Chain A
Amino acid sequence: MAQALDEIKIGGLGSSRKRVEDDRFLRGKGNYTDDFKLTGMLHMEILRSPVAHARIKSVDTTKAWQIPGVHMVLTGEMAAQHNLAWMPTLSYDTQAVLATDKVRFQGQEIACVVADDPYIAKDGCEAIEVEYEPLPAIVNPEQALASDAPLIRDDKVGQNDNVCYRWEVGDREGTERAFAQADKISTLRLHYPRSHPSPIECCGSIADYNPATTKLTVYMTTQAPHIIRSAVALVAELPEHMIRIISPDIGGGFGNKVPVYPGYVASILCSILLGRPVKWIEDKTGNLTSTGFARDMYIEGQLALRNDGKILATRFHADTDNGAFFSDAQPSKFKIGLFHSAFGCYDIPYGYQTAQGTYTNKAPGGVAYRCSFRITEAMFFQERMIRAAAFDLGMDQAEFRRMNLVKDDDFPHRTPFGFLLDSGQYEKCLDVALDAIGYQDFLREKEEARSRGRRLGIGISTMSEPLGAGNSREYDIIGIKMFDAAELRVHPSGKAILKIGAKTQGQGHETTFAQIVTHELGIPAPDIVVEHGDTDNTPYGMGTYASRSTPTAGAATAMVSRKIRAKARKLAAHLLEVSEEDVEWELGRFYVRGAHDRGVTIQDCAMAAYSNMPDGLEPGLENNAYYDPPNLTWPFAAYIVTVEVDPETGVWDVLRMVAVDDCGVRINPMIVEGQIMGGMTEAYAMANMQFITFDADGNCVGSNYMDYLLPTAWETPGFELHEVTTASPHHPIGAKGVGECAAVGGPAAFVNAVMDAIDDTGVRNIDMPLLPDRVWEAITYKRDVSGAPPVKTD
């Protein structure tokens, strides 16, 4: 009797199989970009601007050239001769590769030195003499928009102010009408501070141009190797087939490693000019001061409310501080990414949103730090606003949410901003979270503690975010649509290789993507190797960010597996000597209808594909699939945090933290939980300590790990995780994105908890991070506390 395969045992869907990546990392045998050593390789270092805004009067490289071991000193002027002093950005602006006219932020790239080793290259950088003519620095949008503000982008023809975009969406008139009918209007203004994804590994590249073959190979820390290859082809005007991008092991990305940075471009140019491999490995200060920041958004908005708690409409405005160049790494056709996904999980009939971006003398490169393009700001504002509105109405914050959340039978639900939410059990998630935290008991405990002078608080955040860009209608990068791809080859012995266009930075694709194939074909997961990150050896894909790998490349993996199964069915029919219609499938095996014992395994079919194919059938068992998702995926999450605030010091401690995530079908629950815990920690970090600010002269405060605080094992609280499962209606295996949910939805839970603990003070907002001095100031002076960078006053 043929035994059915146990899918969990062979590492299929739902199996928490241990990661295959681990073995090399545990032995110190990973291959990160800095670990590669090529024959004849030279080392590049970057000279950065010490000032935020200044005209460059001269760059004298004479002394640097004289240092033994220095091979090249590349300036902006030299780069300009190759048409590479500037490069296009992903947001259709331009960005300086090496400054020629002005420096526009502290840390901006001015020149590069290539030498025998990094120490000599650093000596070379120190020997370069730059003369600056200082200009006033602008550190926030308000300053940038002042009529007497200096023009930051005087390089751009027709640019007469510091505005880099304006945008609006929604139904303005309908929203105004709804506000006119409101019983109550609730208002909130806040700043989501500038932050940096800050993976432990900094950015870097090894450009290896071979003058004999004219092939350029670049090893680099990129989350999106294919799109980088296309970008290099277009920017550097090199033939695309002669470019190979290899993204080896990546030491964390979180969005930081999506954009094209000047260091990559300079290393490529230097390698082409020298005909030798050139390695550039950024230091931490370079990473924190010049590569993609995140957030830095001022949001003000309102909810129109009925006295019974129904939300009638929302309107809000965002001012984004984009830094010196508009290089937001976001592929939507919307100027401010998916910011208008705010309030999506609530049933609100009308909405209107405006946004304006400004140039400032701060680093460019707004990236989607563990989120899809500005949804972190959207969900943070949403959940802070929801709490403020519940408070204004005198309603319980959980009940206010329950009343307004989209109901299970209302899907698909179209938001006033045009998104189509397709599935979820929002109320159930909220209930699981409330039960887990013991909501009613805590409220009693809070009152009791308050009477004894202790300040406890509870914060809730519920949200559904659009993950998995994209669909090709609304998402593209330099015109290339946001699909993804997978190639699957089953070898004669039934072992397989899967090649995907996505690229892991710790998410465990080598483990989980094999599990999808296992689910579809019954080939045990250990028999499948997953290849990714090398453009010469993987199908075109848009990379890994925006929690998109499972929604797109994961879907492509399921689809290509099904194509393989369809061909294997023909082979099975041939082997079983029956017609294809009489062949039935169960995991890993075809059998003759009505005769379960008469069957062949997928491995038998694989061997037949190379050794015993029927007449007219092409040999081999391999295929590919390009997948263009019909919609984003819509996971839902409910996060609840309880805190105790010490009113004497402003220090707050997390008492408990509960996360309920509905991310659809979980491929590998262990890995999903790892992602949620990581995201929750970033949420805690944002709420508690992690931000980059600037002084009035534009000096970056947070340019190294002594100033840019990240939580350690000591202060990071423990987590309690729960799950609800609502399958995605369009994803082939029902999965939704998840990697970023907790980082997106988490911060508001922490801040709401602290606000709840001081709900008798009249304070509406303290900007993140909720540093002890800010909380103390709010409690002591009963006033809101802003986190905007200070402006110079004379």
Chain B
Amino acid sequence: MEERRVNVTVNGEPKVADVEPRMLLAHFLREVLGLTGTHIGCDTTNCGACTVNFDGKPIKSCTMFAVQADGHEVETVEGISRASELHAVQEGFKEEHGLQCGFCTSGMMMTAKALLEENPNPTEEDVRWALSGNLCRCTGYQNIVKSVLWAAEKMRSEAAVRR
């Protein structure tokens, strides 16, 4: 199959690759770029394990072709922490035991991060609604919701300090 050139910014770095037009973005991230933190759980856009942020909005990368990302910005779980410092969302998941097997976690955190960037002070209901496109089989969600609220509070207090 004829390959197409894709120019995409991933975690702030420009990437160029020639890929088959049928290649899914999730496979592009995992197989071509080696970013295996994005997981594939289902094939029907239901589970959200493959969620990445696409121009700042959470999308399911198993339902987008890599060629559709041409000229866009993608952020994956590997891009949200800097060196040894975890992002507040990551810290929240650790503090509140928001993960068990870890498979849904990347997608959950990407969705949560996008939510908090849009709504820094969400209610429990806001969080539950925002996460409703991400499935978790281990935790029962209660601790995931707490994790996101923990992160929201931390991000707000950090923002207050900066002001």
Spell out A's residues near B (CB within 8 Å). Answer: 18-19, 21-30, 32, 34-35, 37, 117, 119, 198-202, 249-254, 283-285, 505-508, 670-671, 673-674, 677-682, 704-706, 710, 712-714, 716, 718-719
Q: Name the residue on B nearest A719 (C-beta).
A: B142
Could you say which of A284, A507, A714 contacts B100, with CB atoms under 8 Å apart?
A507
Chain A hits for B139, CB < 8 A:
674, 677-678, 681
Interface pair B142/A201, CB less than 8 Å apart: no
**Contact A200/B104 with A254-B137, A712-B134 known, Cβ cut-off 8 Å:** yes
Interface pair B102/A677, CB less than 8 Å apart: no
Interface pair B41/A27, CB less than 8 Å apart: no
Chain B hits for A117, CB < 8 A:
31
Q: Name the residue on A nearest B92 (C-beta).
A: A26
CB of B73 within 8 Å of the partner chain:
no
CB of B101 within 8 Å of the partner chain:
yes
Chain B hits for A37, CB < 8 A:
34
B residues 14-35 touching A (CB-CB < 8 Å): 20, 22-23, 30-31, 34-35
Chain B hits for A252, CB < 8 A:
100-101, 103, 137-138
CB of B136 within 8 Å of the partner chain:
yes
Chain B hits for A716, CB < 8 A:
140-142
Interface pair B144/A508, CB less than 8 Å apart: no
Interface pair B131/A712, CB less than 8 Å apart: yes
**Contact A28/B36 with A119-B20, A671-B97, A712-B134 known, Cβ cut-off 8 Å:** yes
A349 to B140, CA, bound (A): 38
Interface pair B20/A27, CB less than 8 Å apart: no
Please give the distance in Å from A367's CB to the nearest CB on chain B: 14
Interface pair A26/B86, CB less than 8 Å apart: yes
Contact mask for chain B residues 35-49; partner A; CB cutoff 8 A; 1 contact, 0 none: 111111111101101
Chain A hits for B34, CB < 8 A:
37
Chain B hits for A19, CB < 8 A:
94, 97, 99
Q: Enumerate 25 A-B pairs (CB-CB under 8 Å) in ascending A order.
A: A18-B97, A19-B99, A25-B99, A25-B102, A26-B81, A26-B93, A27-B86, A30-B103, A34-B39, A34-B40, A200-B104, A201-B101, A249-B102, A251-B41, A251-B102, A506-B101, A670-B97, A677-B142, A681-B141, A710-B135, A712-B132, A712-B133, A716-B140, A719-B140, A719-B142
A24 to B33, CA, bound (A): 19
A328 to B136, CA, bound (A): 26
Please give the distance in Å from A91's CB to the nearest CB on chain B: 26
Interface pair A32/B42, CB less than 8 Å apart: no
Could you say which of A35, A199, A507, A670 contacts B137, with CB atoms under 8 Å apart?
A199
Chain A hits for B95, CB < 8 A:
18
**Contact A26/B140 with A199-B101, A200-B47 known, Cβ cut-off 8 Å:** no
Chain B hits for A34, CB < 8 A:
30, 36, 39-40
Given A705-B42, A718-B142, 17 additional A-B pairs, CB 8 A: A26-B94, A27-B78, A28-B36, A28-B76, A32-B39, A32-B103, A119-B20, A200-B42, A201-B41, A252-B103, A678-B138, A678-B139, A681-B141, A704-B42, A704-B46, A713-B134, A714-B128
A18 to B95, CA, bound (A): 7
Please give the distance in Å from A69's CB to the nearest CB on chain B: 11
Q: Name the residue on A nearest B129 (C-beta).
A: A714
Please give the distance in Å from A716's CB to the nearest CB on chain B: 5
Could you say which of A198, A201, A283, A678 contacts B140, with CB atoms under 8 Å apart?
A678
Chain A hits for B101, CB < 8 A:
199-201, 249-253, 505-506
Q: Name the residue on A nearest B46 (C-beta).
A: A705
Interface pair A27/B77, CB less than 8 Å apart: yes
CB of B116 within 8 Å of the partner chain:
no
Could you say which of B23, B106, B129, B140 contacts A680, with CB atoms under 8 Å apart?
B140
Chain B hits for A27, CB < 8 A:
37, 77-78, 81, 86, 90
CB of B127 within 8 Å of the partner chain:
yes
Could you say which of A21, A30, A251, A714 contacts B132, with CB atoms under 8 Å apart?
A714
Please give the distance in Å from A774's CB to the nearest CB on chain B: 23
CB of B109 within 8 Å of the partner chain:
yes
Please give the distance in Å from B115's CB to the nearest CB on chain A: 12
Chain A hits for B94, CB < 8 A:
18-19, 22-23, 26
| 8 residue pairs, one from A and one from B, having the closest CB atoms | A28-B37, A251-B103, A506-B101, A25-B102, A506-B100, A705-B46, A681-B140, A28-B77
A713 to B125, CA, bound (A): 9
Most B CB within 10 A of own CB, among A201, A505, A681: A201
CB of B6 within 8 Å of the partner chain:
no
Most B CB within 10 A of own CB, among A200, A673, A677, A706: A200
CB of B66 within 8 Å of the partner chain:
no
Q: Name the residue on B nearest A679 (C-beta).
A: B140
Please give the distance in Å from A783's CB to the nearest CB on chain B: 34
A633 to B38, CA, bound (A): 39
A705 to B143, CA, bound (A): 23
Q: Name the residue on B nearest A200 (C-beta).
A: B41
Residue tally, chain B, CB below 8 Å to A: 56
A671 to B101, CA, bound (A): 12
Please give the distance in Å from A640's CB to the nearest CB on chain B: 17
Please give the distance in Å from A691's CB to the nearest CB on chain B: 15
Q: Name the residue on B nearest A256 (C-beta).
A: B137
Chain A hits for B36, CB < 8 A:
28, 32, 34-35
Q: Name the residue on B nearest A252 (C-beta).
A: B101
Please give the distance in Å from B32's CB to the nearest CB on chain A: 11
A249 to B100, CA, bound (A): 11
Q: Name the residue on B nearest A22 (C-beta).
A: B94
**Contact A26/B109 with A670-B97, A706-B44 known, Cβ cut-off 8 Å:** yes
A283 to B47, CA, bound (A): 13
Interface pair A285/B143, CB less than 8 Å apart: no
CB of B145 within 8 Å of the partner chain:
yes
CB of B105 within 8 Å of the partner chain:
yes
Chain A hits for B145, CB < 8 A:
713
Q: Name the residue on A nearest B144 (C-beta).
A: A713
Interface pair B140/A506, CB less than 8 Å apart: no
Chain A hits for B42, CB < 8 A:
200, 284, 704-705
Please give the distance in Å from B51's CB to the nearest CB on chain A: 12
A285 to B46, CA, bound (A): 13
Most A CB within 10 A of own CB, among B97, B102, B135: B102
Chain B hits for A714, CB < 8 A:
128-129, 131-132
**Contact A704/B44 with A200-B104, A713-B131 known, Cβ cut-off 8 Å:** yes
Chain A hits for B41, CB < 8 A:
200-202, 251, 284
Please give the distance in Å from A703's CB to the nearest CB on chain B: 10
Chain B hits for A671, CB < 8 A:
97
Chain B hits for A251, CB < 8 A:
39, 41, 49, 101-104
A671 to B96, CA, bound (A): 10
A249 to B106, CA, bound (A): 14
Please give the distance in Å from B107's CB to the nearest CB on chain A: 9
A288 to B125, CA, bound (A): 31
A561 to B22, CA, bound (A): 55
Chain A hits for B23, CB < 8 A:
119
Please give the distance in Å from B85's CB to the nearest CB on chain A: 11
A710 to B47, CA, bound (A): 9
A25 to B108, CA, bound (A): 12
A23 to B86, CA, bound (A): 9
**Contact A705/B77 with A32-B103, A201-B103, A713-B141 known, Cβ cut-off 8 Å:** no
Q: Name the residue on B nearest A249 (C-beta).
A: B102
Chain A hits for B102, CB < 8 A:
21-22, 24-25, 30, 249, 251, 506
Interface pair A28/B93, CB less than 8 Å apart: no
Chain A hits for B144, CB < 8 A:
713
Chain A hits for B49, CB < 8 A:
200-201, 251
Please give the distance in Å from A256's CB to the nearest CB on chain B: 10
A28 to B38, CA, bound (A): 7
Chain B hits for A705, CB < 8 A:
42, 44, 46-47, 135
Please give the distance in Å from A405's CB to the nearest CB on chain B: 27
Contact mask for chain B residues 104-120; partner A; CB cutoff 8 A; 1 contact, 0 none: 11100100000000000
Could you say which of A21, A200, A704 contacts B43, with CB atoms under 8 Å apart?
A704
Please give the distance in Å from B92's CB to the nearest CB on chain A: 10
**Contact A199/B103 with A674-B139, A705-B42 known, Cβ cut-off 8 Å:** yes
